[in-house]
Structure 1
């Protein structure tokens, strides 16, 4: 039985066109007959094209990605994806690592690499938090400006006019929680 190669390519932003083009080129060179592609962050709540690829693959197929970080956002995510593939009888191949889950060594390496990738991500996030804390201490980082609280004067004016909370929320485009937080702060 000939294995059908299905590719998946992802970049974090639409600005990374060269990165996406390189992935598509490598997936085609690897023999992928169908390629699912998307341009969004791996931390996005859902990745519709990955979900479509996972639904599309059939027993005996091979899901191919260029790099591990294009597929999974964490070890838990990697474990879930590989479990879904295994349940369907689908192998996983990662081009840059020459890794193939059809072999016991490939399965072992995938788990080890996933653990290392998650460790590196945690270190990066820790450095990012430290950088933000230092920037805050230096007065260079203020964070996101509160959008609803900047409308406190308008909330008060509309409330004085006798508008209901629901009317004020709709008029100003603020949430129920923001409305009541503002009213509480004004009291």
Structure 2
């Protein structure tokens, strides 16, 4: 019988430290964390690990339910899976404990509001795009990388770092476009994810 913590933020520039501290303070012996969108459970490897590992009598602890799921369907699926395994869900910042009737009811209400908020955000975004299109301001996403230009510069003997600097793009993009067409020169052996 143990507490397993799960922390999540949506983007790599967001900080997990507050969630991790709260989960540690809540007595979690194991904490898994990831930086990935919560709009779906697909691709969330750490969450999947927790759900596969958790067992009878264990408690999944999160700081808030929106760290776990942003759609009511996903939240209900997770709670059903926990229940089937004899585990429960607790949120440190919300009165949620699926081991109690009141906690279950509050969880359902919060799940509805989390999904509602996500849908409102999506609607506002689409309205903004429609207004911008009507005003002739929005033209859609532009192609940021001229693949032909990258290949032309590489063909002229320019190295990936120099190409990235000249075109104002990341070196990882240059490597991706050139691979496997161009071998990496001795001067460009840093990993492609290191900013130039």
The answer to whether the superposition gives a TM-score over 0.5 is yes
CA contact (8 A) 2:3 2:28 kept: yes
Distance, in Å, in 2 between the alignment partners of 1:80 and 1:52 is 15
Is residue 2:24 matched to residue 1:51? no
Give CA deviations for 1:71-130 in whole Å, capped at 9, x if unaligned.
012000001000000000000001110311100111111111111111121111111111
Give CA deviations for 1:1-55 in whole Å, capped at 9, x if unaligned.
xx301000000111002xx100000000000000010011123631000000101
Is residue 2:83 matched to residue 1:86? yes
Task: Identify the structure with the greater helix proportion.
Answer: 1
Aligned position for 1:77 = 74
SS of residue paired to 1:128: helix
**Alignment of structure 1 residues 1-187 onto 2, 5 Å:** 3-17=1-15, 20-43=16-39, 45-145=42-142
CA contact (8 A) 2:71 2:111 kept: yes
User: Which ranges of 4 or more aligned residues in structure 1 deviate by more than 3 Å?
Assistant: none
**CA offset at residue 172 of structure 1?**
10
CA-based RMSD of the aligned residues comes to: 2.4
Distance, in Å, in 1 between the alignment partners of 2:96 and 2:104 is 8
**CA offset at residue 146 of structure 1?**
6.0
Q: Where do 5+ consecutive residues of structure 1 fail to align?
A: 152-170, 174-187
TM, length-normalised to structure 1: 0.74
